[in-house]
Amino acid sequence: MLSPTRARTSLLAAGAAVAGLLLSSLTAGVSHAADNESCRPDGLYRTPGVDVPYCSVYDTEGREKMGADHQRRVIGYFTGWRTGKNGEPAYLASDIPWDKVTHLNYAFAHIGSDHRISVGSDSEKNAATGMTWPGVAGAEMDPAYGYKGHFNLLNKFKKKHPDVKTLVSVGGWAETGGYFADSGDRVNSGGFYSMATHADGSVNQAGIDTFADSTVAFIKKYGFNGVDIDYEYPTTMKDAGNPLDFSFSNARRAGLVKGYAALMKSLREKLDRAGAADGKHYLLTVAAPSSGYLLRGMETFQVQKYLDYVNIMSYDLHGAWNEYVGPNASLFDDGKDAELAAAGVYSTAQYGGVGYLNTDWAYHYFRGSMPAGRINIGLPYYTRGHKNVQGGTDGLWGRAPATNCPAGAGLTKCGDGAVGIDNLWHDKDTAGKESPAGSNPMWHAKNLEKGVVGDYVTRYGFPADTKLTGTYVRKYDSTLVAPWLWNAQKKVFLSTEDEQSVRAKADYVVDKGIGGTMVWELAGDYDWNATKGQYEIGDSLTTAMYEKFKSASPYGAKRSTIDLPAKALDIGVDFGQFPLGDSNYPISPKLKITNNSRTALPGGTEFQFDYATSAPANAKDQSGFNTKIVRSDHTAANNIGGLKGDYNRVSLKLPAWQTLAPGASVELDFVYYLPTSTPSNWTVTFGGRSYALAGDLARGTTVVDPGTDPGPGPGPSPTPSPGGPCAAPTWSASSEYGSGTTVSHKSHQWKSKWWTKGEEPGTTGEWGVWQDLGAC
């Protein structure tokens, strides 16, 4: 029987990785309490007509309040199946390092055949609501609650740690398209797929409403602070997700993204209304894929505006679903990824040399549409690995093809995954056999590294006198920020995490202003038991992150890196009509611009927007709108060591002969070459004035109509500095200037807002590249 529990660490999970923008207008008539609006995070959708109590969770900068020693999030997935009842080591709420985490996601609830959220029938065997652990210190039930199990203990410990927020996570790999009944048998109900999308591809709003209403009632009943959606995956890519779900997912591919967006919008609005009634803001989050393959079929990931934050599953980037041996969760690209090289990513000009199987790329994908602080990167507390590895450097970037793939994996060609003592946390395939994956908790991997056979191995079916073959030597690549174990005798490669890699990733989070980290799963962390001479379940990695974050600067709360106009127009922009996954490269949606204002936009009106540097700076249109890149924050030829900046800024203009009347739309063919999330930070300029767009949901903007706007111009004017000598270098038309460079020109000093070349200071306008610092 395939376990619902090891959902994320399944071989099948990673097999999938191989295998309209919906902008909402802000209207001047919507009523919001001034104090709550001041706490709304930048870019977060606000439900019309609802006074959402943002200030119960966020401060007046729109940053989440998590306690004085938690400047960044540490989100731990707490799984419901490590109960100890099957003989394997337990991990209960009493084992959580409550003072080191900020959020806990309970994994998993599922969607029943009636489209309602569920954790199964109430009984003493129900781990979530009925199970007890007599005699286990710290696991005593709190009689204040009308339920037992994990939910009781989570709330018991929250009383002592009120800053920690809990969310119920719904779905996961094994229960996205079905669920496990009380008997343990899987019910192929369709799960998310049928709840959100009809068989004909249309949105199932009735199913969505049923689920959303039941979810609101569920989190209120069991004391959760919100809901985390783990839908794997609403993508148009064929055969993506659990092979057991293909009959549902493939038939609905054309409508999955629309159903996902409708689901998240409905959840956001129902949670907002419940929060307003209860006087507290309920969180809505998702676990999002990091694979460029999956994201290519998710259009522009239109749901981020409904989310408090996104948790990127920036792991399972390499594993035994194919033959390419590489890190599970590298931070950066090194230009040597064998899988990308085989696909021509490094050699095909349109890709710009951008390697997309790394955490940094995935972070930048989402940074295109969200402030850094509303993004969390994922860290695995488990391993992935191959055996019979040939070539590479100590196995890294080698090959390990397999002759037979696990039954039900949906693969005809796969990798030779590590097994046995190198695969402690394995799943079973549909034939009941071990799925080769090299999947281990990190405490077991640390024992392998030390040459120790832990006393727990008998609980996983190994004899007490088990001996290790060969030695497991720790290796580390500082460019990738990736450790691994290499057993040269067995030709076994196990991709790991340890304190060195976790601290480096924590430094990256701090340096980038990222919101924090998400961990799958807490039970994989380790401590050294000197008495027994072995590693066991602990909190060393979580503690390393906590120590890095506790005195860090506040996270980045603004989406835009440039000053945007304070006045916004109601002009809709929508990227839609994406080709299905089989024919979606290059990525070529239709960009539709709709004038919802009362004033005609004249020919020559300029639109500018940012899109993520996850896609190269070579976007274009094929409709005569003169699309060009006016700024790129990443100017390197590749992304070895990370993308250097967040945005590529695009300019396009209405043709001179074309006026866009009130209510009218114009459509153009847009083309780009790697996935990017929803373009953001829009401006529209005509008649000598620039405006933001209401649909960007930026903090501090006021919706106006250009026909009635009396203002002298948008946004703040730069404040000239007092006159002084022209100490800065003289501007040169042939020189390149990076962001923040100061030059002198015509007795004034000028500061560049972004990279530029050949644009003369004093000619680019108030919203152009050069800011006038005053006479000198």
**Higher-pLDDT residue of 722, 394:** 394
Say how far apart CA 595 and CA 723 lie, in whole Å.
44
Return the pLDDT at 548.
98
Q: Within a 10 A sphere around the Cβ of 734, how many other Cβ atoms?
A: 6
Q: Within a 10 A sphere around the Cβ of 7, how many other Cβ atoms?
A: 27
The pLDDT confidence band at residue 10, using thresholds 50, 70 and 90, is very low
How does pLDDT run across 57-90, given as a tens digit for each residue?
999 999 999 999 999 999 999 999 999 999 999 9
In this structure, the answer to whether residues 422 and 541 fall within a common structural domain is no
CATH (domain of 468): 3.10.50.10
Lowest mean pLDDT among 31-35, 79-83, 619-623: 31-35
In this structure, the answer to whether residues 224 and 300 fall within a common structural domain is yes
Q: What are phi and psi of 718, to 5 degrees?
A: -65, 145
Question: For tokens 């199964």, what's the residue?
Answer: 120
Return the pLDDT at 323.
97
Of 446, 475, 496, which residue is a domain's last? 496
In this structure, the answer to whether residues 376 and 401 fall within a common structural domain is no
719 falls within a domain: no
Say how far apart CA 217 and CA 211 lie, in whole Å.
10
In this structure, the answer to whether residues 202 and 348 fall within a common structural domain is no
**Higher-pLDDT residue of 294, 30:** 294
The pLDDT confidence band at residue 32, using thresholds 50, 70 and 90, is very low
24 falls within a domain: no
CATH (domain of 612): 2.60.40.290
CATH (domain of 764): 2.10.10.20
17 falls within a domain: no
The answer, yes or no, to whether residue 717 has pLDDT greater than 70, is no
Strands 534-537 and 590-595: unpaired
How does pLDDT run across 113-162, given as a tens digit for each residue?
999 999 999 999 999 999 999 999 999 999 999 999 999 999 999 999 99
Of 540, 559, 578, which residue is a domain's last? 559
Return the pLDDT at 764.
75
Return the pLDDT at 714.
42
How does pLDDT run across 155-186, given as a tens digit for each residue?
999 999 999 999 999 999 999 999 999 999 99
Q: What is the rounded average pLDDT of the residues 742-766?
A: 79
Sign of the CA dihedral running 411, 416, 421, 422: negative
Q: What is the rounded average pLDDT of the residues 552-580?
A: 96
Q: How far is CA 176 from CA 183, 241, 406, in A?
A: 18, 8, 20
Strands 534-537 and 567-569: unpaired
Return the pLDDT at 470.
98
In this structure, the answer to whether residues 272 and 365 fall within a common structural domain is yes
Say how far apart CA 305 and CA 296 lie, in whole Å.
19
Q: What letters, b where the CB count within 10 A reaches 16 and e where it falls short, cover 164-189?
A: bbbbbbbbbbbbbbbbbeeeeebeeb
Say how far apart CA 630 and CA 608 lie, in whole Å.
9
Residues comprising the chain, all counted: 776
Lowest mean pLDDT among 216-225, 419-428, 443-452, 766-775: 766-775
Return the pLDDT at 368.
98
The answer, yes or no, to whether residue 571 has pLDDT greater than 80, is yes
Q: Within a 10 A sphere around the Cβ of 624, how many other Cβ atoms?
A: 13
Return the pLDDT at 44.
98
Largest CA-CA distance found in the chain, in angstroms, rounded = 84
Helix axis angle for 499-512 and 540-549, nearest 10°, is 30
In this structure, the answer to whether residues 289 and 146 fall within a common structural domain is yes
Q: How many domains does the chain have?
A: 4
The answer, yes or no, to whether residue 687 has pLDDT greater than 60, is yes
459 falls within a domain: yes
In this structure, the answer to whether residues 466 and 336 fall within a common structural domain is yes
667 falls within a domain: yes
CATH (domain of 525): 3.20.20.80
Q: What is the rounded average pLDDT of the residues 443-451?
A: 98
Range of the domain at 158: 71-129+140-317+358-381+501-559
pTM score over 0.85: yes
722 falls within a domain: no
Residue closest to 332 by CA, chosen among 321, 340, 343: 340
Of 678, 703, 728, which residue is a domain's last? 703
Q: What is the rounded average pLDDT of the residues 342-367?
A: 96
Say how far apart CA 353 and CA 341 lie, in whole Å.
10
In this structure, the answer to whether residues 621 and 577 fall within a common structural domain is yes
In this structure, the answer to whether residues 325 and 469 fall within a common structural domain is yes
In this structure, the answer to whether residues 492 and 401 fall within a common structural domain is yes
The pLDDT confidence band at residue 432, using thresholds 50, 70 and 90, is confident
31 falls within a domain: no
Residue 216, H or E segment: helix 205-222
In this structure, the answer to whether residues 456 and 590 fall within a common structural domain is no
185 falls within a domain: yes
In this structure, the answer to whether residues 329 and 467 fall within a common structural domain is yes
